Amino acid sequence: MEESILASRWRRTIGIRGWESPGASNFMKPEPNAAGASAWRREASSLSLPEVHGSIAVPRNLPAWKKMWAYAGPGLLVAVCYMDPGNWATDLAGGAKFGYTLLCVIMLSNLMAILLQHLCIKLGIATGRDLAQACRDHYSVPTVWFLWILCELAIAACDLAEVVGSAIGLQLLFGIPLIWGCCITALDVLAVLYLQNKGFRYIEALVATLIATIAVCFTFELFFAKPSLIGVAAGFVPSGEILKNQGMLYVSIGILGATVMPHNLYLHSSIVQTRRYEPTPDGRREAIKYATVDSTGALMFALFINASILILAAAAFHWSGHSEVAEINDAYKLLSPALGVSVASALFAIALLASGQNSTLTGTLAGQIVMEGFLNIRLRPWLRRLITRGIAIVPAVIIIGFYGEGKTTDLLVASQVALSMQLGFAVVPLMRFTGERAKMGPFVNPLWIKILGWTTAIVIIVLNLKLLIDLFLPAALLKTIYGLFGLPAPS
């Protein structure tokens, strides 16, 4: 008896399962969709991000622009992950080495992202489940654990980029050693806790402010760089050389991994549920429409930021004898001399720091969503976030300590390739769930979206397999394999 009392007290202390926030009390049961619960192996047992679920009301009979304002916000949090420091490393490498050629990869990756994020919106609103919860309620326990481990690895790879990017920004601006900079980024846990307790809108406002800072910095950078408009336009036209050149393909897949992130799919399917829309087919349809507009607009803004980084690197380094510049530190040192503007390097570092801090905020939320969704573990917010930040910061500190500060950009690029390798394991479940009428009811994917979505998934998987083959098979065997298809072996 005494043992059960102690166990009960301990469970209340750390908040396992029984804990909920006061604001979530009115939304403790996910609304079933039109298809009913029989389509799932398990019934929905919890809400996604319960402390903020349905916390932002969307009143009926509002003008369209006011409704758009009510739904605006989640798209910005998602877009943050598309302009994080991992993108900087891959975009810098692509622009400095190959000029404007890989702009088409950024554009195609962004179009893929718009489609996949739309599907996440549909899944979250139509089923009342985020992607992690949907996997838990559909797949067997071993499969769920396998997907959870892959997702945690993806978050660790992404957080490595975000933590290292913030640390580099602190080092460039204030001379703080990288390892100490990584530890300082742990303070984002306190920021998320404080702002989320005040309301989810405060997190969205902070993210919007940091995004505006990045945009202003790069607007000035492009003005200083004066890129060739004809060259930029030509860069958006796809080139077959990308598939033939192993260096281009490696950076391209890194761009793909940096742009379409696995954990972003879990994040978006959750945070769209912070809006309290009408739990009817028409209410859900309207919510999907406005949330998609919000997401698409934010991702087009992310396209501008990513393209700006690559254009800046191409204009400043590719044709000036610095085509091998791929280190963020080197870019910082050479940017002002290359552009002839003393403030250019400082603007670059400020934008990098804002990007890193922004990404760590959303990465913390994604870690919470994944842990709760896959494992149905309910811990108090401070403990959840302490665990998820530890998963990111500890490996970052160990890797930086082992490899040294000179390899940080290589780590950033490699982390994005690792993300791309795991992307298929998130995209395939998303396509499967949103393509089943039994789960989605009237919101099931139409045929044309199924074709586009599965084509995207196949492209991602095939490119990843090609990269693995090119990296690890002997040159003689590669020549034979490519010869069978009448293709030149990668250089």
DSSP letters for 224-246? HH---HHHHHHHTS--THHHH-H
Query: What is the average pLDDT score of the chain?
Result: 79
Token pair of 311 as six digits: 């254009």
Strand pairing partners for 275? Answer: 56
In this predicted structure, the answer to whether residue 144 has a pLDDT above a threshold of 90 is: yes
Q: Residue 333, class by beta-carbon neighbours within 10 Å (0-12 exposed, 13-18 middle, 19+ buried)?
A: middle
Report the number of secondary-structure helices (H) and strands (E) in the chain.
22, 2
Provide the CA 178 distance to its chain's centre, in angstroms. Answer: 23
At 246 the pLDDT is 73
> Would you state the pLDDT for residue 467?
67
The pLDDT of 433-440, averaged and rounded, is 93
Whole-number pLDDT of residue 407: 63
Is residue 457 within 8 A of residue 431, CB to CB? The reply is yes
Of all residues in the chain, the percent with pLDDT exceeding 90 is: 22
The lowest-confidence range among 32-46, 92-106, 281-295 is 32-46
Per-residue model confidence as pLDDT tens digits over 203-259: 888 888 888 999 999 899 999 888 989 999 999 998 888 877 777 877 787 677 656
Please report the domains of the chain, with CATH numbers, ordered by start residue: 57-446 (1.10.4160.10)
Q: Who's near 167: CB < 8 A, 6+ residues apart?
A: 176, 178, 179, 180, 181, 182, 184, 185, 356, 396, 400
pLDDT value, residue 82: 79
Give the pLDDT of residue 121: 95
pTM over 0.85: no
Of the candidates 131, 443, 79, the one whose C-alpha atom is nearest the C-alpha of residue 294 is: 79
pLDDT by residue (tens digit) across 375-387? 887 666 667 667 7
| Residue 173: pLDDT over 80 | yes
DSSP string, 294-341: HHHHHHHHHHHHHHHHHHHHIIIIITTT-TT---HHHHHHHHHHHHT-
pLDDT in tens, 349-392: 898 888 877 777 777 778 888 888 898 876 666 676 677 667 66
Residue type, 393: I
* Most confident segment among 155-169, 177-191, 440-454: 440-454
What's the CA gap between 443 and 447, in Å, rounded? 12
| pLDDT at site 297 | 93
Taking residues 297-309, what's their average pLDDT?
Answer: 90
CB atoms within 10 A of CB 167: 29
